[in-house]
Structure 1
Amino acid sequence: MAVFCTGCGVKLQSENPEQPGYVPASAMEREQVICKRCFRIKHYNDLTPVPMDKNDFLQILHRIGETKTLVVKIVDLFDFNGSWLPGLMRFVNFNPVLLVANKTDLFPHVNWGRIEQWVRLQAKQGGLKPVDVVFCSGEKGTGIKTLMEAIEKHRQGGDVYVVGATNVGKSTIINQMLKHAGAEETAPLLTTSRFPGTTLDMIKIPLDDGQALYDTPGVINEHQMAHYISHEELKVILPTKPVKPKIYQLHSAQTLFFGGLARLDFNAGERQSFVCYMSNELLVHRTKLEKADQLYVQHLGEMLTPPGKKSLQEWKELEPHQFSIGEEPVDIVFSGLGWVAVKGTGAHLTAYAPEGVGVYVRPSLI
């Protein structure tokens, strides 16, 4: 009989240490078994990358549309655009979707009523009309009780599928729900980490009424910055503490560098503030526009880091994206990195990011 890892859901095997799901044969007899990969994540914060075919993701998502179920879609509020799954509705058929905005702990002082309106509007524009919106922090455990109550209300006796892009915190939230339900003594916790792609297959968690909650693998959004840098560099760009906005009063013909990962040129416009919402660990450097190109060439991998020197040989050239800002406050978003709030007094901007990384303009979140 097949045995599956209680941490990531992968089928276990003892034949090939280099393949997913490996455990020593002696460990297969234990009641709760985790694979070598999950063991190293839990104890050493070390991730062995495991490629997963996109067709495997699609096959899992197709299962959701074949049954009556509640879909819990989790997004990363700090990376709302980057973690959005644009084609979800065509997979879930007519099943209801509960939208969960995770990582509220990164926003300590905000108007949550206004942010909920913003999230609902963004969801509508993204083709989704959720039955409800819940805000929570999987890391801190806040909002978990409200989420559990919303799931019970909307699942109507059916199964629950938890979906989302990689690194939105699905497994962390499920672990918090297990703890709130008093199951931590009898049920294994799912493997969690800051690295994308920790869950490798669906993990089934039985519910009291005979139905089940399923944790699904994260869908890879290739336009997120996380897929262009090393795992070590992820520790710099993924915030783990409340984000402290960095405010810069800029004249036209000035540039902001975000490490060496991205850049924003203020080409023309009146002197105004640019508010940067990015990891506290990421260095923001201001310079004159006329010096920006030379600065990037001379200091990439040194003063402008990440990327570090080891990553430079695979580093992609920064691509420009032109924006003309009107009178409404907007955010210039770098997918998976953060955003810069522009107050809406008129500006011509050029945003740069590596080829393939998404760069967007959206109505201001904060």
Structure 2
Amino acid sequence: MSLVNLLDFDLDGLAAYCESLGEKRFRATQLFRWIHQKGAADFGAMTDLAKSLRDKLAGVAEVRPLTVATEQASTDGTIKWLFDVGGGNAIEAVFIPEDDRGTLCVSSQAGCAVGCRFCSTGHQGFSRNLSTGEILAQLWYAEHHLRQRLNLAPGERAITNVVMMGMGEPLQNYSALVPALKAMLDDHGYGLSRRRVTVSTSGVVPMMDRLREDCPVALAVSLHAPNDALRDELVPLNRKYPLAELLAACRRYLETAPRDFITFEYCMLDGVNDGDDHARELLALVNGRGDRHVSCKLNLIPFNPFPESGLHCSPRARVLAFAKILQDAGIVTTVRKTRGDDIDAACGQLAGEVKDRTRAAERMKRLPVRIVSAPAEPRQKPH
């Protein structure tokens, strides 16, 4: 009989599991604190649990960590871990330290099925979804490993922010994502603020609406183009959920979101989406009148080139000129500082040595490079 992985549960799930063992909810709360606040995996060390419960758990359950295959440290302090998730698959998590925060970038899938043109993970293809336990195990390991490594005082956090921006499209693994988010937010777990947990999506509209109802956290949307024709090429999911539908979902999300804006991520691609006309088109898109307006912040991301993409990074002067057009129009716009690029840990670089079971990379090589720009106008979705 395989042991139950207690990392697969949020607090309600753990309470239900403990009840199945004949235990009351307060025992689940104690157990949850030991696992997530103290990083304990040995039931014998959980001294305030009844010995009968500790003995019972030892025969049926475990706290199952991921195997660390490699660890790489960047010159800027960024750390990347490669975790073995079995079946020839590996995933990556990245810790980004800053003066006022420590951010962990977490993966939700082994590979990714979305296949964005500028993302090396997408070129690897999709292998499988991660379980809730595999998502949480990245945070569990990083938090408690870093506490020891940095010699932090008891109760001091190493990780203050979590971004679901690692490998995969989080909203295509929704059933595993939400319990993981709830554990991150729970005061008996990691106690993170909803404003400090961010889910990044390429625009899975129905799941954006579900997340708004089930577990609203900060939201980042991978936009990358100001019109449907160009976005179809860069983010293939746009063919299913075009910009008009995506922006309407963003407006709905803001009704319950912990932040009063959506972050739009925009990867700057030389000669593709970085012209002054694209910036003005982007302004028209987000500054729609009345109920078409989206309160947003623009995050311009320098592209991290990889050979299979056929794309190049916009020159810094072009990025700054693009940003100025947006800023002059009153849009909060930042240029993301590239971190960890010397260890392939920067945005769009996570590949994780995933087996390419879908032969996505091979198919991408056969695709024509047909990047176009067209006027922004609503289109009807085919029925």
Q: How does the TM-score come out when normalised to structure 2?
A: 0.29
Q: Which has the higher helix share?
A: 2
Q: Which has the higher contact order (CA 8 A, sep 6+)?
A: 2
Q: Which has the higher strand share?
A: 1
Q: How does the TM-score come out when normalised to structure 1?
A: 0.30
